[in-house]
Structure 1
Amino acid sequence: MDLNSLRKKLSDEIIDFYINDGIKELYPPQEDAINAGVLDGENLVIAIPTASGKTMIAELAMLNSIKNGGKAIYIVPLRALASEKYEKFKKFEIFGLSIGLSLGDYEISDEHLGDNDIIVATSEKVDSLMRNNAKWLDKLSVMVIDEIHLINDPNRGPTLEIIINRLKRLNKNIQTIGLSATIGNAEEIADWLNSKLILSDWRPIKLFNGVFLNGSIYFKDNRSKYREVKINNNRCMDNVILLVEDMIKNGGQSLVFANTRKNSERYAKKISDYLKAERLIDTDERIKDLSKKIREIDDTDISLSLSKIVSSGVAFHHAGLSNSHRKIIEEGFKDGILKVIVATPTLSAGVNLPARRVIISSYRRYNSDFGNVPIPVLDYKQMAGRAGRPGLDPFGEAIAISKSENELDFIFENYIFADPEEIWSKLGTENTLRSHILSAIISFAKSRDEVLDFLSNTFFAYQNDLWKIDSVVRNIIFFLEENGFIEFDSNDERRFYPTDLGRLVSRLYIDPLSASIMVNRLKSLEYFEDVEKDLAYLHIICMTPDMQKIYLTKNEEIKLYEFVRSNKELLHYLDQDEIDDWILSSLKTALIIKEWIDEKREKIICKKYNIGPGDLANIIDTAEWLTRALYSIAYYLNFPYYYDIKNLSIQVRKGTKRELMELVRLKNIGRVRARRLYNAGYRSIEDLKRANVEDLSKIKGINVLLASSILKELEDYDEY
């Protein structure tokens, strides 16, 4: 379909914008969406392969609605993906549109977001916005749900399902656009959302699926005949390296998927060493600059290792890296500087980072309950779908590695020729429903029947009989009442209302079970004046289900158990009978945060606890949110030391001891510069006000420009 044929429905400036961007013809699935009424307000579920034009369909729907006075929200599962889409949509500012991004604090309503035409947010942030009564939500005319198939995810799925349900309840006429991978039951998602289904396997460039065995890639275009492509190299016997080398020699990039972080780093190093030895990569200034940028981020072992590997045009990519690391790697790959990325499978569900050849090193993944198990077909297809860059590559190749002919046949039959699994709602448990039922009670549901009525419109209810979760709902209501989050009407025992504590917990966006733990543990600390409480407060937040748990080795378990036994006074709130792996794992997390606020270097913390900078950043980010929540609950309870917890939340955010809190309020003054100022005798704002540029610029890390900026900032503040 010629884009010019849409001028009757879209403005000339929008059509001309896309044409000037090189898009003159719509892809077949995009044409199907137009014919299905996407520009007429029709709901659509679009289940098509990666890079087949899903995002542009959503863009056209949003722009068309905004032209008619509407407002759009674009919901994504990951922060990194939200940032990517936000940067992409900023191109529409040329039309005078305003684009907003909402990722941060869960406790605020972000009313300013309502001034934007397109808002990009994670599903968790949208959920928190509804709990905090953001007034602009009922003005939305279009809701785009990216990666809607993640309803199947046990962690993110329930929240995604609930916010879709609540936004449709709030905005009866909202246009819903669901963007999905190809799944086994896309028609069920479409039917649940009262949407038309766009289903296609069309791709803009050809994808060849193959399996590598004994030096050859076997392709199979049908079920009866193989096409063999030999890769000759007598100097190397490593399968991954052979495939990477072959692609480099043919001018393409490779994306290798490894099943663990350790394997991603190991493969990347092996590939890097080989390419360097064989002189297959030109180490030009761009590669050297990339390596230097990574080295300058921090001095952790993982940063130094990555920097060295990048100098050969190779990188590893996983959640243990900091956001800064990952951004540099992603940009380096998109710019063609890096030729190989070895990533964990999380990348396949994250940012858009295609390569001509995708190499799937293993179709198995470790599961803590069952060991190494085969991955779902959907996950395999998501990884394979990253092969081929439209407009840059003549084709894409997705190659799995096998160890035998039997395994080769298994991969073809069970992955390449197999259909993706059906997806299922993960909403029907107490853990997933607790928080959402409290939120519903605060907003509109005042009886068990009204709660069930709300849940009757979920995907869970579409796939299951609602009576299956009746007992779950009863248990949750009992829990909420027992812990003081709701109370029953004295005149009608069937009806209930939220308490002030319940409203607070919902606004804080924490699990009611987390709040219950906080309340009970704070009460146990109330009368112990002489105990050093910071570690206790940190351990409380780390015992909640909202804090991610850190893997515990057997050796760490023994050491932590001894720590508990030796610090009974410090950890007096723990009953010795309740000490188990979960308590010890949460204590490990608390000790990590304690070392952070004690100003231990990031490198030392990461090495001591065997975590990456990205892990540390995630722990600190969550800890800041939960310490703020703990402070709010302590204040509500009139806990005598609530202000100490408020200070602790600032310490967690800044990574400093309490004595530096005044200094780190200043712009561009972090934990390191604040400590240097303090050690130089500048221990307060008043001390700094008496300083001059010459004196401040003598301190390491503070140049004349920064010193001037600090003194200028102090002129604008009368008090701190």
Structure 2
Amino acid sequence: MAGRTEYEAGAAVADVLPAFADAFPFESFNRMQAAALPAILESDDNVVVSAPTASGKTALAEAAICRTLESGGTALFLAPLRALTNEKESEWERFEALGYSVYVVTGERDLNPRRAEGADILVMTPEKADSATRKHDSPRYAFVTDVDCCVIDEVHLLDSDQRGAVLEVTISRLRRLCEPRVVALSATMRNVGDVAEWLDAPEACTFRFGESYRPVPLSATVETYAHGDNAFADKYRRLYRALDLAQPHIEDGGQALVFVASRQDTVRAAEKARDVIAERDVEIGSRGEYDFHTDAQELQNDTLRQSVVDGVGFHHAGLSKGDKDRVEDWFKSGEIQLLFSTSTLAWGVNLPARCVVIRDTKLHDPLEGEVDMSPLDILQMLGRAGRPGYDDAGYAHVVCDGSDAGRYRQLLEDGKPIESRLAGELDAHLNAEIALGVVDDIEDVMGWLETTFYYARAASAPEHYDDPDSLRDRVSATLERLVDGGFVDQSGLEIEPTTLGRLTSQFYLRLDTAASFHALCERAADSDTPDLGGAAALRTVADATAFDSVSARRDERETFGAVLAGEGDDLEPGNRKVLAILRAGMDGTTPAELQSDAWVIRQNALRLLAALRAFCERFASPRDANLVRRIEARLEHGVGEEAVGLVAVGGIGSGRASKLAKAGLVDPADIRRVGVEGLIDAGLSEGVAERVLEQARALPGVAIEWEGMPEAVPEGENTMAEVTVRNAGEGAPAGVRVTVNDVEMSETTRYLGETTVPVGVFGGDTEELTYEVEVSFPELPLHPIRDRRVVAVE
């Protein structure tokens, strides 16, 4: 650190960063920030900072961004949650006011490549950055290779079972693509040195700020409750225990934040807590404040509207943005004293409370069943205890069964080392690097391995990981499996991806799922009557590895048995439950017993169906891809098979599709035929009818013409005819298939405007020849269009 400026606590932002003073919401840096600023501002080295929650790490991220902007570079901020990316967009209007552009790239918005390329600050989740770096050689995502500085917020996300490996490989890939400076920020972690080793951050740029830097001292305990035989009753036992812990702080004018397992639990716990608080005669809330009561009436959620006036609120991702914003503001200002939330609040919004209670240490995951809340989440939630500037101490409590108490006490005493989660997904991520061309020979495989946190952590903790030689053997074995599975071709030392490997990477599939999709397509392609079959497609998706941990309760089994009527009897109960949810969802009739998990399962199934459709286009046929596209559309919109083509029309969802189908209009051709007046007669308003008709006219409108096709052909003779397929609407990829007596003569795939296919007419030993032309659109949920001609053999 020799030769660098030293800053003291209280250093003015205007003195340290005069050109960016207005970008910060405060006027001076605190003790922790001042200690790290020289490494951030006066070095090009990578920096790793571990510091307690609420100690001010965000300001270090902003300082690193300022240094990048000052030198004309582009900064990328990786936020752990999508909600946080949107929050940063709002917060960093301060940078916009200084003339810099901030652009948030998320999966829920259409990417504007021009804005992304011109942005000074990019904000993404690790998952979106993974997607962008995988597509870096496409014009749409080329901007990601121009990043000069990458700030990783909450780098301890590396230890997340579900998301850690994605963050790890994305950072390793980004460093290979454009070598950005990396500034990694984390809550307190035991092995910050391993992260620094991985990122090549020198000792002088590696900071371990302990609990003495926490702005408010934290007292954390583990509390047990009297466990019973009924899980529902246990929830209320834990709630009473949580309220016992929170009550003294509420009575003293403080606030309590209680974390529960699910969105529904936040609502139910808040309702019950209001009753218990009233019974205990605890004074809480702002009952006498007229303005607050008036503002509360503007909430969209009815239950929340009734609850907040009693000083009790709830917060979860399913609330509207306006409701969430109001709840956060009221909690910050004290109108809400008791707030129930899911764990996402701990990662995102800065809402500390004097008392934090974790009521639920287990949660129900639709894809995994009952799972323990991750230690990362536990520590993140506990870290929210204590309000800087308001409290002398923070109080945090974990409520759990006595059998788990020792484990949680050890977590609170020792913290948790950050581990790599790459080993469990090594095959899929190595396949992705090969598919991207990052790895193209055996030496590159080992070189890639050495860029991972997995490798750095293994060197640090060999007792928990393989030694370097064993790691190399493990990666070699993984590569061999990729070659044997057809994902990778190997010739000597050189390796390259196959089409199967590329599709697997493109759709983020597990390898065994990709293999099952490929096998299904091959069976269809090799069949005498090539046809994937809707039942086979749906079953293959339901049996995907992503659903292997889905659990099925007894009441659910009775319900999905009725839905499936014997279909999929040989599947595991969890996968059969998935199949039932998909079957019912296609008709929009999901039974109540299956609804709690249905949304998550449907979203995952839609992703898998999109992948299966791409597999069909490559390995089966356009008609198979079209079948999967119709299944996908039915599942997304909940419409019947007859009317699924309607949802291809912009402005038509399940409601309008149902209305039009009842009037006998079941596809875009019907809409074009009846025009605006017919749509009005079917129940649409004039304005909607005009827009729907315009959208329907933009879709393909197919006409099939036969030329030279005789009515009869003498036995033993032959002639040639032609069939012309014309599209009167906008062009689209289409498969044109010609069969005679159900035997395929030809099939071609092209971007359909107009195409002519020769047809041979041969007088064989049959009495008649039935020719059929079928036009299928693999990317649109339109029913195939068919036309027939019959030729007699005389």
TM-score range, shorter chain: 0.7 to 0.9
**Deviation of residue 326 (structure 1)?**
8.1
Matched, 1:656 2:650: no
Q: Counterpart of 2:419 in structure 1: which amino acid?
A: W
**Deviation of residue 73 (structure 1)?**
1.4
Cα distance in 1 for residues equivalent to 2:599 and 2:439? 37
Q: 1:461 aligns with which of 429, 439, 455?
A: 455
Contact 2:217–2:393, Cα closer than 8 Å, also in 1: yes
Which structure: larger Rg?
2
The 1:715–1:136 alpha-carbon spacing in structure 2 relative to 1, beyond 3 Å, is: same
Matched, 1:630 2:603: no
Contact 2:222–2:409, Cα closer than 8 Å, also in 1: no
1:674-710 Cα distance to aligned partner (Å, 9 max, x none): 32344356655564873369948x95xx7x7xx5365
Q: 1:487 aligns with which of 469, 486, 489?
A: 489
**Deviation of residue 424 (structure 1)?**
1.6
The 1:65–1:663 alpha-carbon spacing in structure 2 relative to 1, beyond 3 Å, is: same
Cα distance in 1 for residues equivalent to 2:552 and 2:408? 38
State the aligned residue count.
Answer: 648
Q: How do 1:98-497 and structure 2 match up within 5 A?
A: 98-104=101-107, 113-133=116-136, 134-172=141-179, 174-195=180-201, 196-200=205-209, 201-202=211-212, 205-209=215-219, 211=221, 238-258=240-260, 267-275=269-277, 278=281, 280-281=284-285, 284-290=293-299, 293-295=300-302, 312-316=310-314, 323-324=318-319, 328-329=323-324, 331-336=326-331, 338-361=336-359, 379-390=377-388, 393-395=390-392, 397-400=394-397, 414=410, 418-429=413-424, 431-440=425-434, 442-464=436-458, 465-489=467-491, 493-497=492-496
Structure 1 match to 2:519? 520
The 1:496–1:35 alpha-carbon spacing in structure 2 relative to 1, beyond 3 Å, is: closer
Contact 2:581–2:602, Cα closer than 8 Å, also in 1: no
Task: Choose 394-403 or 647-656, whichever is displaced more.
Answer: 394-403
Cα distance in 2 for residues equivalent to 1:516 and 1:403? 42
**Deviation of residue 400 (structure 1)?**
2.0
Contact 1:151–1:160, Cα closer than 8 Å, also in 2: yes
**Deviation of residue 497 (structure 1)?**
1.6
Q: Counterpart of 1:198 in structure 2: which amino acid?
A: F
The 1:535–1:591 alpha-carbon spacing in structure 2 relative to 1, beyond 3 Å, is: farther
Contact 2:556–2:593, Cα closer than 8 Å, also in 1: no
1:412-468 Cα distance to aligned partner (Å, 9 max, x none): 96455x231212212224x34333334235413223332112101211111223322
Q: Which runs of 5+ in 2 are unaligned?
A: 1-7, 226-237, 288-292, 459-466, 700-794
Q: How do 1:67-82 and structure 2 match up within 5 A?
A: 67-82=70-85
Contact 1:205–1:396, Cα closer than 8 Å, also in 2: no
Contact 1:442–1:497, Cα closer than 8 Å, also in 2: no
1:190-243 Cα distance to aligned partner (Å, 9 max, x none): 12212222222355742341559899xxxxxxxxxxxxxxxxxxxx99332244
Cα distance in 2 for residues equivalent to 1:421 and 1:205? 21
Q: Counterpart of 2:189 in structure 1: which amino acid?
A: I
Cα distance in 1 for residues equivalent to 2:441 and 2:239? 67
**Deviation of residue 131 (structure 1)?**
1.9
SS of equivalent residue, structure 1 residue 144: strand
Structure 1 match to 2:574? 585
Contact 1:560–1:588, Cα closer than 8 Å, also in 2: yes
1:273-307 Cα distance to aligned partner (Å, 9 max, x none): 224555844562444443xx225xxxxxxxx7x77
**Deviation of residue 634 (structure 1)?**
0.4
The 1:164–1:617 alpha-carbon spacing in structure 2 relative to 1, beyond 3 Å, is: same
1:523-563 Cα distance to aligned partner (Å, 9 max, x none): 34564979994443233223223458532124545776798
Structure 2 match to 1:621? 603
The 1:102–1:432 alpha-carbon spacing in structure 2 relative to 1, beyond 3 Å, is: farther
Structure 1 match to 2:749? none
Contact 1:387–1:397, Cα closer than 8 Å, also in 2: yes
Contact 2:284–2:337, Cα closer than 8 Å, also in 1: no
1:246-294 Cα distance to aligned partner (Å, 9 max, x none): 444444432112467786565333202224555844562444443xx22
Q: Counterpart of 2:584 in structure 1: which amino acid?
A: E
The 1:98–1:632 alpha-carbon spacing in structure 2 relative to 1, beyond 3 Å, is: same
Q: Counterpart of 1:459 in structure 2: which amino acid?
A: F
**Deviation of residue 653 (structure 1)?**
3.5
Cα distance in 1 for residues equivalent to 2:89 and 2:242? 35
Cα distance in 2 for residues equivalent to 1:476 and 1:598? 42
The 1:171–1:498 alpha-carbon spacing in structure 2 relative to 1, beyond 3 Å, is: same
1:583-610 Cα distance to aligned partner (Å, 9 max, x none): x32232232133222123xxx54x3215
Structure 2 match to 1:719? 698
**Deviation of residue 670 (structure 1)?**
3.1
**Deviation of residue 717 (structure 1)?**
7.3
Q: Counterpart of 2:481 in structure 1: which amino acid?
A: F
The 1:716–1:94 alpha-carbon spacing in structure 2 relative to 1, beyond 3 Å, is: farther
Cα distance in 2 for residues equivalent to 1:693 and 1:251? 65
Cα distance in 1 for residues equivalent to 2:215 and 2:408? 21
SS of equivalent residue, structure 1 residue 387: coil
Cα distance in 2 for residues equivalent to 1:650 and 1:372? 31
Cα distance in 2 for residues equivalent to 1:521 and 1:409? 48
1:324-370 Cα distance to aligned partner (Å, 9 max, x none): 468734642333364433334454334443333212346788999xx
Structure 2 match to 1:608? 593
Q: Counterpart of 1:126 in structure 2: which amino acid?
A: A
Contact 2:22–2:94, Cα closer than 8 Å, also in 1: no
**Deviation of residue 521 (structure 1)?**
2.6
**Deviation of residue 631 (structure 1)?**
0.6
Cα distance in 2 for residues equivalent to 1:148 and 1:59? 16
1:349-404 Cα distance to aligned partner (Å, 9 max, x none): 34443333212346788999xx999978755432221123446x445532326799
Q: Counterpart of 1:49 in structure 2: which amino acid?
A: P
Structure 2 match to 1:53? 56
Matched, 1:552 2:555: no
What's the C-alpha RMSD, in Å, of the aligned pairs? Answer: 4.3
Q: Counterpart of 1:323 in structure 2: which amino acid?
A: G
Contact 1:81–1:351, Cα closer than 8 Å, also in 2: yes
Q: 1:642 aligns with which of 607, 620, 625?
A: 625
Matched, 1:708 2:687: yes
Q: Counterpart of 1:353 in structure 2: which amino acid?
A: L
Cα distance in 2 for residues equivalent to 1:548 and 1:346? 25
**Deviation of residue 565 (structure 1)?**
8.4
Cα distance in 1 for residues equivalent to 2:659 and 2:311? 37
Q: Counterpart of 2:147 in structure 1: which amino acid?
A: L
Q: Which runs of 5+ in 1 are unaligned?
A: 216-235, 296-303
Cα distance in 1 for residues equivalent to 2:649 and 2:571? 42
**Deviation of residue 163 (structure 1)?**
1.2
TM-score where L is the length of structure 2 = 0.71
1:494-543 Cα distance to aligned partner (Å, 9 max, x none): 32221233223322332333211111133345649799944432332232
Contact 2:285–2:312, Cα closer than 8 Å, also in 1: no
TM-score where L is the length of structure 1 = 0.78
SS of equivalent residue, structure 1 residue 341: strand
Contact 1:402–1:408, Cα closer than 8 Å, also in 2: no
Higher relative contact order (CA 8 A, sep 6+): 1
Contact 1:317–1:344, Cα closer than 8 Å, also in 2: yes
Q: Counterpart of 1:552 in structure 2: which amino acid?
A: A
Q: How do 1:671-686 and structure 2 match up within 5 A?
A: 671-679=654-662, 683=666
Structure 2 match to 1:501? 500
